[in-house]
Structure 1
Amino acid sequence: MKPILYKGRLKTWKDDRGFGFIKPDDGNKDVFLHISALKGTSRRPKVGDIILYELATDSEGKIRASNASIQGATLRSLDLFKNQTQSPLPKKHHRKKRGLVEILMSLGIIAVIAIFAMEFRASDSPSPVSSVTKPECNIKGNISFNKGKKVYHLPGMEDYESTFIDPAKGERWFCTESEAIASGWHKAPR
């Protein structure tokens, strides 16, 4: 069975929202038209356009136009539509989509960089977990950020609790004081 084609004039159109209403030629009640029903048209509709359409019922039971076209407007193939720079959506909607894609791509790039940095860092320095797991290795080998001096801190010293070891900077844990001295580290002054 061939679908019935109706004809009417576009009575209202909200371009920023992508919908409007058709006044049917047969005098029936106005018909809702969404931009998605105008697939393949070469331009956006405007008030006064003659619209050719089929009738459909949406999920809420409301009548709406479907498979619509603008009389006199040329149709374009789907391939041309894909390559065309102008979207059938208003620019406001186009910017939102582009912004979301850019955000998702940025997050993906950041995640890849973070994973790479963690892998690089893990292969570059000893794991802080493995060096702390030995209970006898509690001497902190710290590098002074002011002068670059290598100093070690023994438990009970004044700065011991506030000293943090960052293996990525070359800092490390020692099991004995003699091991720290043999590695070229000097005892902290306090």
Structure 2
Amino acid sequence: MPHIKIDAKDAFKIENILNENPLCELPSHWLNPVEEIIDGFLPIFESIEFPMDTKIRVDGNALVGDSALNDSINAFPIRNTQKYLLQSKCKFPGIETCERYFSEIFKRSIYRTSNGVWYPRNGFMGWHTNNNLPGLRLYLTYADEMEMSFFRYMDPVTRKIITSFDKKGWALRLFCIPQDGFFWHCVYSDCNRYSLGWHMPVSSNII
């Protein structure tokens, strides 16, 4: 996974980097200014109870494999994305401060697309494109075990499937949903994985 070799002050140039790397994992030190805030998100996620009636008996790993991707492409746009996760309705104190920070360093407006998602063991989000909302996607994720969860995507140019495993702890990833074409991607977790997601326009719009 490529790490961005520029200072946070130059983050608004990110689309130039994404032209060469469909997915970028930003350096962990970019989170230092908001580290205390995001560490406060963990006990909130950990307090969530997963409803018993939502538990399913499927092999989530199979639904993020090559065969499942081919099925999704062939059925697109009819097929609904299969998933096993919990969308939280919790409040995250200080999240607006994080959003202002991200907005300032990327020089873009930022809009939350997911309030807080918990992927339990065997949790997943099947192959999908988000093509209804083109632009940059920024995801803050936490995994409680090393390399037991991942973000997987198909390179739009080479069509090679690439898996980006999560390290234990927080990570910040960025990718682009193109105006034309598709960025197929999915998520799988065999640990507790928490995420918050945001959308940003591609072009820099200093606010």
Shorter-chain TM-score category? under 0.3
Normalising by structure 2, we get a TM-score of: 0.19
Larger radius of gyration: 1
Q: TM-score normalised to the size of structure 1?
A: 0.20
